[in-house]
Amino acid sequence: MTTSLHRTRRPVLPSMLKHGLLLLGALVMLYPLLWMLSSSFKPENVIFKDLGLIPRPFTLEHYVSGWTAIGVPFSRFYANSFIISGLSVAGTVLSCALAAYAFARLDFRLKRLWFALMLGTIMLPYHVTLIPRYIMFFQLGWINTILPLTVPHFFAVSSFFVFLIIQFIRGLPRDLDDAAAIDGASEWQTFWHIVVPLATPALVTTAIFTFIWSWDDFFSQLLYLNRITSYTVSLGLRAFIDSQDRSSFGPLFAMSVISLIPAFVIFIVAQQQLVEGVSRTGLKG
Amino acid sequence: MRHTLQTSSGDGVSVVTPPRRLRMSRELRRNLVAYAFLTPWLLGLLIFSAGPILASAYLSLTRYDLLSPPEWRGLTNYVVMFTRDPRFAKALQVTANYVLVSVPLQLALALAIALVLNRGIRALSLYRAVYYLPSLLGGSIAIAILWRQVFGLDGLINRALALIGIQGISWIATPETAVYTLVLLRVWQFGSPMIIFLAGLKQIPREFYESAEIDGAGRWNRFWRITIPLLTPIIFFNLVLQIISAFQTFTQAFIVSGGTGGPVNSTLFYTLYLYQQGFSAFNMGYASALAWVLLGIIGGLTLVAFLSSKYWVYYES
């Protein structure tokens, strides 16, 4: 009754106007991205004269020349980034899930204290631990290896995700756990065969955001990786800017486009997970 | 078990002991199991958080260059910072200005679009996805590179301005405008707070609006008397989150200024200055002190937000 009232009241024109404005806004937002994509297929002398989005004439030369422009092929940077991000994801999901299960389902001494400390580290700026961590890795001889960028992830350093998974596990019914316990399942079996499968949505959210953050990371990679063969995509692009003269943006755009592919694929495949992850937790993305 | 107890019932000690030992070991076992699950996180807390925090508090009171041992300086680093370091003052001012301008603009836009999208619009998920995309990609180097180009002398903006006969400046290389290109970059990423606002708006019961409408409340009134008050917890949440994240902006300023914080220190963001002190000049003691001041600022802002929240945040209970 009320909805039909609403519908009859709403005229067609404002609705079209609204869609028009929303579409215009979307176009303005996406225009720089689309322009970069299309420019990466335009010949160098056309890029800055042409504001259009259709590359004419069309060329792949920037992808070919950009791939090897700074000595080491871009595939190397890509592989390095994938190794670092992959290990970060594996470490974070595993260690955070273990800790979250303990906090959500088990009883132990000092639980309140640890829980409070876990919450306390969520908002802690990275910079407060930065310099001592650097000194520690320096003394371990880990500079110029991927270890400083991956090992901490195996120790659940992103408390935020511990919290995220705890909240999710708390929302799961306990019946299955109890049934498993009656059947003589150990805590490990309950964790692995019951809680982990049920908590998959939270684990996927954790995996996605850990991947994107470590893929986009620049600050710590800048600190720890100084040798060009161990460069990641972020560092490769940055070296690219320095090596290029101002006038050739084509190869730079081409490699920038390549660097965005993983995040874009995730965006296409896991849109629902992303939106839910953000609205439930305020993850930035 | 009961069988064992019964047969040994003649011996008082053994009747009582097995259950108690069993109970104790069960308690112990429960703790051991829980701590086994917790071990990676606990080690991480000690090695990568608690230990480094204490170490950086100590280092902030020293002069340290990584190669020679730390040299005790008491509070000198902090005194120098607040009295004799014009670049610190500049970094603080640049960052504060950036946060104060970009966060309100970003949140206002996020709220406005969320309100439009919330009114039962067709193709909602499409719009939501498109508006969210910049938030997802915005932290990358590629976008920072794009921004450098868009606002450069030969950039997209100036090309567009040239079409209507305006000769643009290099927005990136001009001290007065450089930081505002970064403000725009942040505002461009309004998608994630928008999604949070949308989730909040969905929680407001329709009946509130319907009964207000019956009582003759206009659109404007409904917005200010219903939507805004009921949304204040979400606004508060977004505000705290974005302030904390904006204060730590690094990558974009680094790429756009080529790592210098220029032109004329106009994009010398706080974390960029910390990076320069710690890892270009190797003043690691001073950089630790900068990190503690950053912690103080972020903690202080969060505290102010929480303390003030009881005056303007409406919690339904």
B134 contacts on A by Cβ (under 8 Å): 29, 33
When scoring B41, B187, B231, B272 by the number of chain A Cβ atoms within 10 A, the one with the most, hence best to mutate, is B41
Q: What is the mean pLDDT of chain A?
A: 90
pLDDT at A229 > cutoff 80: yes
Confidence (pLDDT) at A245: 62
Average pLDDT over residues A167-182: 91
3-class DSSP state for residue B72? strand
Q: Residue A107 corresponds to which tokens in the numbers above?
A: 């009883």
The enclosing H or E element of B304 equals: helix B284-312
Encode pLDDT of B188-228 as tens digits. Answer: 999 999 999 999 998 888 888 888 888 888 888 888 988 99
Encode pLDDT of B117-147 as tens digits. Answer: 987 778 888 899 999 999 999 999 999 999 9
Quote the minimal CA–CA distance from A174 to chain B in Å: 17
Confidence (pLDDT) at B24: 66
Q: What CA–CA distance (Å, rounded) separates A210 from A160?
A: 11
Average pLDDT over residues B38-50: 96
Quote the minimal CA–CA distance from B44 to chain A in Å: 5
Q: What CA–CA distance (Å, rounded) separates A28 from A22?
A: 10
Percent of chain B with pLDDT over 90: 64
pLDDT band at B14 (very low <50, low <70, confident <90, very high): very low
Contacts of A103 (CB under 8 A, 6+ apart): A111, A114, A115, A118, A162, A166, B38
Contact B195 A257 (CB under 8 A): no
Nearest of A204, A262, A285 to residue A77 by alpha carbon: A262
Q: Does A277 touch chain B (CB under 8 A)?
A: no
Q: What CA–CA distance (Å, rounded) separates B149 from B155?
A: 5
Q: Worst-scoring range by mean pLDDT, A142-151, B94-103, B123-132?
A: B123-132
Cross-strand partners of B63: B71
B132 contacts on A by Cβ (under 8 Å): 274-275, 278, 285
Confidence (pLDDT) at B15: 43
The pairing of strands B71-72 and B62-63 is: antiparallel
pLDDT at A247 > cutoff 70: no
Q: What CA–CA distance (Å, rounded) separates B63 from B76?
A: 9
Q: What is the mean pLDDT of chain B?
A: 89
Nearest of A90, A118, A99 to residue A207 by alpha carbon: A90
pLDDT at B8 > cutoff 60: no
pLDDT at A10 > cutoff 60: no
Buried b (16+ CB within 10 A) or exposed e, A10-27: eeeeeeeeeeeebeebbe
Q: Worst-scoring range by mean pLDDT, A115-129, B269-283, B285-299?
A: A115-129
pLDDT at A278 > cutoff 50: yes
Q: Give the ranges where chain A is alpha helix by DSSP (H).
A: 2-9, 12-39, 44-47, 61-67, 74-105, 111-122, 127-139, 147-150, 159-170, 175-182, 187-190, 196-198, 200-216, 219-224, 233-243, 250-269, 271-281
3-class DSSP state for residue B62? strand
Confidence (pLDDT) at B7: 38
Confidence (pLDDT) at B20: 57
Average pLDDT over residues A196-203: 94
Average pLDDT over residues B66-79: 94
**Cα atoms found within 13 Å of the Cα of residue B162, Cβ hemisphere only:** 12
Cross-strand partners of B78: none
Confidence (pLDDT) at B19: 56
pLDDT at A41 > cutoff 90: yes
pLDDT band at B311 (very low <50, low <70, confident <90, very high): confident
pLDDT at B4 > cutoff 60: no
Contact A124 B53 (CB under 8 A): yes
Encode pLDDT of B138-191 as tens digits. Answer: 999 999 999 998 998 888 899 889 989 898 899 999 999 999 999 999 999 999
Q: What CA–CA distance (Å, rounded) separates B302 from B307?
A: 9
pLDDT at A52 > cutoff 50: yes
B91 contacts on A by Cβ (under 8 Å): none
